[in-house]
Each structure stands twice: as structure tokens, then as C-alpha cells.
């Protein structure tokens, strides 16, 4: 007979057990479920609902159950549906009527929300740490390349020269916002649902503030219906993960392009690539590709959760049990991405020569010429137009911008001076971009120093 079986005349159909079980995946919540139960019984004893000795016996037995699960010696039963009832049944098996007191003043509805919040609080810290690991690896690589010039791209077309460190640090910025989103989400999920009961609170004199303190929550959630009904913290967490996946997917895409034969800007370490079963010469950036690929799955989990929640009347509905698999998978996936990209970035070989060769394209410095004209008092729109004409003229002549004579240049840009012919040096170009946040090595070195210091602490 199931724990809730009192009013039933028949046992559950085997298919229903399969249909409703969550133990096959929610077992990972066990340390949090146990910690929550231990705080709960301590409170029950404190307010006099159960005896102190009973609370102590339950707490000790829960420790033993946890040790059994840790060691892989605990037998999870599908017939007991979920982690909450598996643990409770084990408790009752050992302690009898005393064990049967653990669920006093509690429902699985407030219990599962408590477990999830405890779990996500820990995972928020872990994902943040892994993101910091990737940031550190990007900064370490950047520190070596504050003077390595490559073309910056917009529309995947050559735009302006940048230093490689600048490109890498752009990802460090993105990951920093991802980390702050997780911290922010953690702030909001750090509140206790327990004591909400199934929906309406309890007739028993539960001390929710005490439990909140025991579990190091900021406090107890104010509204019992909200406490059991919402999963916005799951959505927020998934959306923070989706953004991390999106950022790392873009980094992966850059790595895939850069390691292609057309670019040959970097070479990934053999340890992070795989070969082809047919073509002997192949070395493929599979980790980067799968980072891109897995991102789709993470997005899917976010949309699935939003969709599951959208039509649910308050408060708890069993639909909400579907919040876990996608969440767990998204967490595992993003952690694996971050953990793998960090050493992969550290081992990437940078081909500065090829980067420099690509950045030598004089067209990359067209903006520099226009800005030189602006300094001569020419309105920017006119300057842009003149340089554009000059680019067109060179194209017609079949020469590079740097091959034009002053006379040829003046046909399009009457104000051109001999110094304009020297404008096509990419190093001069990056060094001149000293704007705050610009790509000048002088600026980028400051940013590297900033991150080296900032990333020392979690």
C-alpha cells in the first residue's frame, strides 16, 4: 500500500507507477532532502510537537540513510515514487512509529520546493566557479596576446584590426555577467518554502523562521500558496544557463572558424580534438561543435519549463514534477561545457603569423583614414564617402589601398597628405584605438590586469 493509500481500495496499476515515478532522477536531491528533514524535526521538537529524543533518533537515522545512499547501498524503489517517500519509508522501516512522525506538518509540495532550492543554491555556486575557471583560462591566454593582431569581424567580413586579447576578453565580460545572473538568481531562490504544507500552512505551531535559519535561508517565504505553486526559480536558473550556453557556443563557433584551414588562426590541442573514422588526415574540433550543439538542448529545457508552467492553476499540480529532468540535464551540460572549455582554451596554440597576415589587409584601415580626415575638419559623412570612393577606385585599378599613389588617392580624397599613405599599418591602427574599452594594447593590458586581480576571488 502506498503512503497515501488510506482512502484507496485498490493498488496502483503498474503503468501508473511507471508514469508517476520520479525516483529514477530525483534521487540526486537526497542530501538536500535529508538536510531539510533534519532541520524540520529539530523544529518539531523545539516547539514540542515531538519529543527531543524522537527528533534525535530521526536525525541520526537520516545520517545513516545518507551514508547508505552515498555508498550506493540504498535500494530505491519505483513503487515509492520519489526521493521523499523512499527516504521516509527507509526511516519508518528502521524507527517504526517514531519514523512516521517525520512528515508531521509537512507535504511533499513544500518539501520538494525546499529540496530544489537547496540544490540550486549549491549548483549556483558550482556553476559560478566553473565559469570563473573558464574566465581565468581566457585571461591567461589573453595576457600572452595583448600585442597579437588579427582582423576583427562584423558580418564575418574583415572590419578593423584588433588584438587577440581583446577578442578573448569580450568573452570574459560575457561570462562575468552570466556569473552575476546566477548570483542574482541565487538571491531570489534562497527562501524557505517548508511550513507551507500542501498549500495553506498548518494548524500546528511550526516555527518556520527557525527552520530557515537552520538551513541558512534568508528567511521563510511569506505566502504558502506561492511557496508550493511557483517554479520561477527553475526558469530563472535555466535562463541563466541558457545564456552561458549561448556565450560558450559563440566562443565555440569562433574556435571552429579559427581552426579551419581557411583561417588557421589557432590550433586546438590534440587532446581536445577527435579524428575521422575514414579520412586519416582529419582533426576535428568536436568539443567546440558539441558545445554549439548542446546549447540547443539547454534552450529546449528552458522553453519546456516555461510551457509546462504556463497553464497551471494555483497551486501545486503534478505537472510540476516535470521540472527536474531538464533542469538537471541543463546543469550537467553547462558544467561539462565550462569544465572542458577551460583546459581546451589553455592548450590552444595561437598562430600569430597567420593572424597578422590576415590583418595586413589595408582595407581594414579605411576607417582610420576617414577619422584622419575628421581631424582635418572634414564632416564624418563626407570623409566616409570620400574614403569609400577611394576604396572603389583601388578595386577598379586592381590594387590594394596601400599601393595607391598620393595622386591616385587625391582623386577621391582631395585633402589627402603624404602621411595618409602610412595609414595602412595594422599595428599603428590598433595602437591608436585608445578609447576606454578600445583595442589599443595599452587599454587591453589594463583590462588583463583588471581581470587577473578580479578573478582571484570567487
Q: Which residues are catalytic?
A: 155, 276
Distance in Å, CB of 149 to ligand ARG, minimum: 54
What's the CA gap between 115 and 327, in Å, rounded?
14
Cis amide prior to 315 (ω within 30 degrees): yes
Binding letters toward ligand ARG, positions 178-207, x by CB under 6 A: ------------------------------
Question: How many residues make contact with ligand ARG (CB under 6 A)?
Answer: 8
Distance in Å, CB of 316 to ligand ARG, minimum: 6
217's torsion region: left (phi>0), alpha (psi -120 to 50) or beta? beta
Query: Does residue number 224 form part of the binding site for ligand ARG (CB under 6 A)?
Result: no
Count other Cβ atoms within 10 Å, centred on residue 406.
Answer: 12
- For residues 109 and 308, which CB has a smaller minimum distance to ligand ARG in the complex? 109
Binding part of the chain for ligand ARG, among 107-115, 332-340, 382-390, 442-450 by CB under 6 A, reads 107-115
Binding residue (CB under 6 A) for ligand ARG from 109, 224, 315, 340: 109
- Three-state SS across the chain? CCCCHHHCCCCCCHHHHHHHCCHHHHHHHHHHHHHHHHHHHHHHHHCCCCCHHHHHHHHHHHHHHHHHHHCCCCCCCHHHCCHHHHHHHHHHHHHHHHHHHCCCCCCHHHHHHHHHHHHHHHHHHHHHHHHHHHHHHHHHHHHCCCCCEEEEEECCEEEEEEEHHHHHHHHHHHHHHHHHHHHHHHHHHCEECCCCCCCCCCCCCCCHHHHHHHCCCCEECCCHHHHHHCCHHHHHHHHHHHHHHHHHHHHHHHHHHHCCCCCCCEECCHHHCECCCCCCCCCECHHHHHHHHHHHHHHHHHHHHHHHHHCCCCCCCHHHHHHHHHHHHHHHHHHHHHHHHHHHHHCCEECHHHHHHHHCCHHHHHHHHHHHHHHCCCCHHHHHHHHHHHHHHHHHHCCCHHHCCHHHHHHHCCCCCHHHHHCCCHHHHHHHCCCCCCCCHHHHHHHHHHHHHHCCCC
Binding part of the chain for ligand ARG, among 54-62, 104-112, 246-254, 418-426 by CB under 6 A, reads 104-112
Binding residue (CB under 6 A) for ligand ARG from 321, 333, 351, 443: 321
- For residues 321 and 439, which CB has a smaller minimum distance to ligand ARG in the complex? 321
Binding part of the chain for ligand ARG, among 117-125, 307-315, 316-324, 415-423 by CB under 6 A, reads 316-324
Rg of the chain over Cα atoms, rounded to whole angstroms, equals: 30
149: Cα within 13 Å, side-chain hemisphere:
22
| Burial (Cβ within 10 Å: 0-12, 13-18, ≥19) of residue 397 | exposed
Query: Does residue number 80 form part of the binding site for ligand ARG (CB under 6 A)?
Result: no
Binding part of the chain for ligand ARG, among 105-113, 176-184, 285-293, 432-440 by CB under 6 A, reads 105-113
- For residues 32 and 167, which CB has a smaller minimum distance to ligand ARG in the complex? 32
Q: Is residue 347 within 8 Å of residue 269, measured between CB atoms?
A: yes
- For residues 59 and 108, which CB has a smaller minimum distance to ligand ARG in the complex? 108
Query: Does residue number 33 form part of the binding site for ligand ARG (CB under 6 A)?
Result: no
Distance in Å, CB of 317 to ligand ARG, minimum: 9
- For residues 71 and 318, which CB has a smaller minimum distance to ligand ARG in the complex? 318
- For residues 139 and 320, which CB has a smaller minimum distance to ligand ARG in the complex? 320
Distance in Å, CB of 321 to ligand ARG, minimum: 4
Binding part of the chain for ligand ARG, among 49-57, 318-326, 328-336, 395-403 by CB under 6 A, reads 318-326
Distance in Å, CB of 6 to ligand ARG, minimum: 14
- For residues 249 and 308, which CB has a smaller minimum distance to ligand ARG in the complex? 308
Binding part of the chain for ligand ARG, among 122-130, 252-260, 315-323, 409-417 by CB under 6 A, reads 315-323
- For residues 318 and 396, which CB has a smaller minimum distance to ligand ARG in the complex? 318
Binding residue (CB under 6 A) for ligand ARG from 222, 318, 396, 456: 318
- For residues 318 and 453, which CB has a smaller minimum distance to ligand ARG in the complex? 318
Assigned C-alpha cell, 451? 581581470
Binding residue (CB under 6 A) for ligand ARG from 108, 121, 167, 247: 108
Query: Does residue number 29 form part of the binding site for ligand ARG (CB under 6 A)?
Result: no
Query: Does residue number 82 form part of the binding site for ligand ARG (CB under 6 A)?
Result: yes
Distance in Å, CB of 312 to ligand ARG, minimum: 12
Query: Does residue number 101 form part of the binding site for ligand ARG (CB under 6 A)?
Result: no
What does the binding site for ligand ARG look like in residue numbers (CB under 6 A)? 22, 82, 108-109, 112, 318, 320-321
Amino acid at each position: 500500500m502506498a503512503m497515501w493509500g488510506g482512502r484507496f481500495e485498490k493498488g496502483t496499476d503498474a503503468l501508473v507507477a511507471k508514469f508517476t515515478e520520479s525516483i529514477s532522477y530525483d534521487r540526486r536531491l537526497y542530501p538536500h532532502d535529508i538536510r531539510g528533514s533534519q532541520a524540520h524535526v529539530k523544529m518539531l521538537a523545539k516547539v514540542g510537537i515531538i519529543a527531543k529524543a524522537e527528533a534525535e533518533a530521526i536525525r541520526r537515522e537520516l545520517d545513516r540513510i545518507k551514508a547508505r545512499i552515498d555508498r550506493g547501498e540504498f535500494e530505491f524503489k519505483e513503487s515509492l515514487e520519489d526521493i521523499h517517500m523512499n527516504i521516509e519509508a527507509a526511516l519508518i522501516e528502521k524507527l517504526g512509529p517514531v519514523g512516521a512522525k517525520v512528515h508531521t506538518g509537512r507535504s511533499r509540495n513544500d518539501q520538494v520546493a525546499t529540496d530544489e532550492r537547496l540544490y540550486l543554491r549549491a549548483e549556483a555556486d558550482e556553476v559560478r566557479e566553473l565559469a570563473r575557471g573558464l574566465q581565468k583560462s581566457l585571461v591567461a591566454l589573453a595576457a600572452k596576446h595583448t600585442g597579437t593582431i588579427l582582423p576583427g569581424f562584423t558580418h564575418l567580413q574583415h572590419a578593423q584590426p584588433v588584438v587577440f586579447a581583446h577578442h578573448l576578453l569580450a568573452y570574459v565580460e560575457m561570462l562575468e555577467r552570466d556569473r552575476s545572473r546566477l548570483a542574482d538568481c541565487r538571491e531570489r531562490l534562497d527562501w524557505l518554502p517548508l511550513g507551507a504544507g500542501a498549500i495553506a500552512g498548518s494548524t500546528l505551531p511550526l516555527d518556520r523562521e527557525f527552520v530557515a535559519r537552520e538551513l541558512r535561508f534568508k528567511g521563510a517565504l511569506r505566502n504558502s500558496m506561492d511557496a508550493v505553486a511557483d517554479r520561477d526559480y527553475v526558469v530563472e536558473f535555466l535562463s541563466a544557463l541558457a545564456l552561458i550556453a549561448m556565450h560558450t557556443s559563440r566562443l565555440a563557433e569562433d574556435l571552429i572558424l579559427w581552426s579551419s584551414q581557411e583561417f588557421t588562426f589557432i590550433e586546438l590541442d590534440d587532446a581536445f580534438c577527435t579524428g575521422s573514422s575514414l579520412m586519416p588526415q582529419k582533426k576535428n574540433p568536436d568539443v567546440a561543435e558539441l558545445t554549439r550543439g548542446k546549447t540547443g538542448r539547454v534552450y529546449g529545457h528552458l522553453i519546456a519549463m516555461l510551457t509546462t508552467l504556463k497553464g497551471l492553476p494555483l497551486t501545486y499540480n503534478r505537472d510540476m514534477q516535470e521540472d527536474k529532468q531538464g533542469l538537471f540535464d541543463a546543469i550537467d551540460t553547462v558544467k561539462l561545457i565550462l569544465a572542458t572549455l577551460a583546459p581546451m582554451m589553455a592548450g590552444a596554440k595561437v598562430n600569430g603569423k597567420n593572424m597578422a597576415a590576415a590583418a595586413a589587409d589595408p582595407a581594414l584601415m579605411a576607417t582610420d583614414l576617414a577619422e584622419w580626415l575628421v581631424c582635418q575638419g572634414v564632416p564624418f559623412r563626407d570623409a566616409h564617402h570620400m574614403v569609400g570612393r577611394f576604396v572603389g577606385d583601388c578595386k577598379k585599378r586592381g590594387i590594394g589601398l596601400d599601393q595607391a599613389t598620393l595622386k591616385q588617392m587625391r582623386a577621391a580624397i582631395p585633402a589627402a597628405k603624404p602621411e595618409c599613405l602610412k595609414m595602412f599599418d595594422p599595428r599603428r591602427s590598433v595602437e591608436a584605438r585608445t578609447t576606454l574599452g578600445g583595442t589599443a594594447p595599452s587599454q587591453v593590458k589594463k583590462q588583463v590586469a583588471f581581470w587577473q586581480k578580479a578573478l582571484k576571488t570567487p
